[in-house]
């Protein structure tokens, strides 16, 4: 219980830092672009008096620390501000986008775990063989491939209709437009179409992570195979599946969960490119649009919101690990 | 985190007998490195790439007779689609003109020579990737050393800072910041360094924390050396091996980061060529659906370069016998 409280306190601290930085960024933007938020709202033709009135209404005429406290207060009440451009609350823009992005990340996480764990296991169980080398090279290439390049190439190969069945002028025999080229279908309206539209973007997002996780799983399992407890389990007659599942799996799982907590945050950065290419109206799409249109409240809202998601994912992962591993719960250093 | 230098390993706790034991550290390092063929290939690739970017780019421009930004009106076919690799400029009759300019890697969206642009683009990619890593390394080294050496409250503050920085949606923040600072070489280096200092900081902090209790530090203290001298003269040499290894890995990450920023138009300013921006050129207009090469070529260059840096990092790690990875 003490551990949970401690961990949650750290999370609160992180959230405060994230919001502070997001807020500073907001002010740096308005200072650097030379247009104050009040100016943006009031428009180009506004007189100084009108701008001052808008500034007073927005609260931007108060000192920065007062504004920051107000900003925090609003966030606690679920109020992320008001878009200059779309003239509606930022939450109305962010929440549907978050639904899309979270769906994409969820599909992607499932894909990369389903691919990386078996690949890593196979490599670890046959170390330094041809299979191991081949899988390691594949993982290396996957890690080195930028998602904003992989996504269009995948869409070209598996979704693009005018080129169906051909790659670089070579005929592949059959049509390969297996996946829809872009777009978004809500889970509640049609679960199958939802998945079908997310599989290819999810795969594009997942491949790089698959490489990382396959290497990670391989290294973790390989390290454990030499341990005494594995030898003991083997000598008492436990078969390989049982050793992997009940003995090694239990030791290795916390490390993977911790990493997952971190990488859900990292994935939010990569999601942006995938969303742009596959036309998914997610958080990345909203972020890039708002940055290009200098719609600061939306930018700050997206950054804060993703920051909250990331901190949340990390905290959850740490709590899950503590539930799995009693050693963590004991206060050490 | 174990840092093994020649002396440590010779005195040390390692029971397994290394066939190269007794030989100097440098000789062992070279022997391990040279036995690793993949790493040698990666290193050779990177040296060639560096030469191509520095000397090769102007040579290619001189040989082909055109610079990276020269647009060929006839460098697109009649439908306005860029030319495939190994093709000649289009003549007045709409057919390839054997006397016209020859494009080894084809042309891009504006009819510019892909090969020359690719070579010049390597400059921006490498300069930002390596430059940002150098800055990040410097920041990380300072903070990591302070945290690991002094411990206590200072360590707690810096460590929480590192954890929070890792928790950040760094790509989104970087994009926001890059949009504020504006595009440009120096700005991309600043932005990327701000979001990659925490890898080396964590490594250095953990390594110094482990070394702090060692006798040589105590000895240095007892003869009256100051903290700064101990850090610089006694601890820093112990950190060279892990730092070189991690820096190589971070360069790979930062090259992808830079490409990502310039893909979004936040890297170096056009028309200066850059790999990320070349990919964006081919992708954002959906041009790659008609001419896949415009996206394929810069992407492959990026993949191979990242792969080479990663492989070099792994090889150096094995040769230095440093444990762990940057993640």
CATH code for position B138: 1.10.3720.10
In a domain, B98, yes or no: no
Residue B230 covered by a domain: yes
Name residue B23's beta-bridge partners.
B21
Q: Indicate whether B126 belongs to any domain.
A: yes
Say whether A152 and B283 touch across the interface (CB within 8 A).
yes
**Helix-then-strand count for chain A, H and E:** 14, 2
Is B154 part of any domain? yes
Whether chain B has a CB inside 8 Å of the CB on A285: the answer is no
Contact B172 A272 (CB under 8 A): yes
If one counts the domains in chain B, the total is 1
Q: Do B289 and A162 touch (CB under 8 A)?
A: yes
CA closest to B259 among chain A residues: A146
Residue B181: its H or E element: helix B170-181
Per the domain annotation, does B8 fall within a domain? no
Nearest-Cα residue of chain B relative to residue A168: B292
Q: Do A13 and B160 touch (CB under 8 A)?
A: yes
The minimal CB distance from A310 to the residues B168, B292, B296 is found for B168
A157: closest CA of chain B, how far (Å): 10
- Asked if B172's CB is within 8 angstroms of A306's CB, the reply is yes
Estimate the share of chain A in helix, then strand, then coil, as percent rounded to the nearest 5.
75, 0, 25
Instruction: Show pLDDT as tens, one digit a residue, over chain A (333 residues).
Output: 778 888 888 888 888 888 888 888 766 666 666 666 677 777 777 788 888 887 777 777 777 778 888 888 888 887 877 787 777 888 888 999 999 999 999 999 999 999 999 999 999 998 889 999 999 999 999 999 999 999 888 888 777 655 555 565 566 655 556 677 777 878 777 888 888 888 889 999 999 999 999 999 998 998 888 888 888 888 888 888 888 888 888 888 888 888 888 888 778 878 888 998 888 899 988 988 888 787 878 888 888 888 888 888 888 888 888 888 777 666 544
* Contact check, Cβ <8 Å, B303/A145: yes
Cα dist from A308 to A11, A38, B131, B195, whole Å: 9, 27, 31, 18
Does the residue B93 lie in any domain?
A: no
- Chain A's closest residue to B156, CA to CA, is A333
Q: What is the pTM of this model?
A: 0.84
ipTM for the assembly? 0.82
Quote the CA–CA distance of B292 and B288 in Å, as a whole number. Answer: 4
Rg value, chain B, Cα: 24
- B14-47: pLDDT as tens digits: 445 555 556 677 887 888 888 888 889 999 999 9
SS3 state at A166: strand
Domain span at B266: 37-57+120-320
- Check CB contact under 8 Å for A149 and B167: no
Residue B7 lies in a domain: no
How far apart are alpha carbons B77 and B95 in whole angstroms? Answer: 9
Q: Indicate whether B112 belongs to any domain.
A: no
**How near does any CA of chain A get to the CA of B223, in Å?**
31
Name the nearest CA neighbour of B306 among B252, B230, B250: B252
How far apart are the C-alpha atoms of A197 and A155, rounded to whole Å? 12
Using an 8 Å CB-CB cutoff, list chain B residues near A292. 179
């Amino acid at each position: 219980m003490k551990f949970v409280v401690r961990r949650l306190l750290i999370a609160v601290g992180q959230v405060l830092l994230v919001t502070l930085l997001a807020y500073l960024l907001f002010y740096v933007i308005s200072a650097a672009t030379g247009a104050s938020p009040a100016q943006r709202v009031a428009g180009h033709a506004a007189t100084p008096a009108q701008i001052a009135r808008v500034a007073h209404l927005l609260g931007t005429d108060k000192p920065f620390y007062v504004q920051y406290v107000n900003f925090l207060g609003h966030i606690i009440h679920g109020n992320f501000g008001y878009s200059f451009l779309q003239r509606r609350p930022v939450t109305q823009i962010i929440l549907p986008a978050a639904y899309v992005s979270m769906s994409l990340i969820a599909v992607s996480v499932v894909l990369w775990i389903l691919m990386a764990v078996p690949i890593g296991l196979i490599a670890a169980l046959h170390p330094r063989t041809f299979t191991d080398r081949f899988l390691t090279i594949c993982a290396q290439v996957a890690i080195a491939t930028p998602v904003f390049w992989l996504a269009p190439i995948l869409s070209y190969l598996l979704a693009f209709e005018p080129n169906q069945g051909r790659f670089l002028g070579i005929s592949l025999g059959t049509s390969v437009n297996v996946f829809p080229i872009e777009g978004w279908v809500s889970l509640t309206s049609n679960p199958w179409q939802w998945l079908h539209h997310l599989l290819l973007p999810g795969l594009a997002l997942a491949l790089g992570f698959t490489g990382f996780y396959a290497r990670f799983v391989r290294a973790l399992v390989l390290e454990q195979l030499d341990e005494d407890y594995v030898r003991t389990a083997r000598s008492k007659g436990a078969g390989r599946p049982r050793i992997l599942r009940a003995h090694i799996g239990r030791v290795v799982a916390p490390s993977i969960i911790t990493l997952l907590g971190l990488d859900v945050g990292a994935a939010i950065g990569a999601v942006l490119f995938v969303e742009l290419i596959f036309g998914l109206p997610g958080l990345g799409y909203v972020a890039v649009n708002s940055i290009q249109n200098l719609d600061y409240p939306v930018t700050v809202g997206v950054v804060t919101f993703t920051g909250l998601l990331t901190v949340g994912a990390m905290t959850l992962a740490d709590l899950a690990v503590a539930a799995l591993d009693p050693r963590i719960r004991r206060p050490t250093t | 985190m174990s840092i093994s230098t020649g002396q440590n390993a010779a005195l040390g706790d390692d029971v397994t007998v290394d066939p190269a034991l007794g030989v100097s550290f440098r000789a062992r390092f070279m022997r391990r490195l040279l036995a690793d063929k993949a790493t040698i290939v990666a290193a050779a690739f990177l040296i060639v790439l560096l030469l191509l970017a520095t000397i090769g780019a102007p040579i290619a421009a001189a040989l082909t007779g055109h610079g990276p930004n020269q647009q060929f009106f006839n460098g697109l076919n009649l439908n306005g689609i860029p030319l495939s690799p190994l093709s000649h400029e289009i003549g007045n009759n709409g057919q390839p003109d054997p006397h016209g300019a020859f494009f080894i890697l084809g042309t891009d969206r504006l009819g510019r020579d892909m090969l020359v642009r690719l070579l010049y683009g390597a400059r921006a990619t490498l300069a930002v990737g390596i430059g940002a890593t150098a800055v990040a390394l410097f920041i990380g080294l300072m903070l990591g050393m302070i945290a690991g050496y002094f411990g206590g409250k200072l360590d707690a503050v810096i460590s929480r800072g590192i954890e929070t920085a890792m928790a950040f949606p760094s790509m989104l923040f970087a994009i926001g910041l890059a949009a504020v600072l504006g595009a440009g070489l120096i700005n991309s280096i600043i932005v990327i360094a701000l979001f990659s200092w925490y890898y080396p900081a964590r490594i250095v902090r953990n390594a110094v924390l482990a070394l702090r209790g060692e006798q040589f530090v105590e000895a240095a203290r007892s003869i009256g050396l100051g903290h700064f001298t101990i850090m610089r003269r006694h601890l820093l040499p112990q950190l060279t091996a892990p730092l070189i290894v991690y820096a190589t890995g971070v360069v790979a990450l930062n090259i992808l980061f830079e490409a990502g920023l310039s893909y979004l138009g936040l890297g170096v300013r056009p028309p200066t060529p850059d790999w990320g921006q070349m990919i964006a050129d081919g992708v954002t207009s959906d041009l790659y659906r008609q001419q896949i090469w415009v996206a394929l070529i810069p992407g492959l260059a990026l993949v191979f370069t990242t792969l080479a840096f990663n492989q070099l990092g792994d090889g150096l790690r094995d040769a230095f016998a440093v444990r762990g990875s940057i993640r």
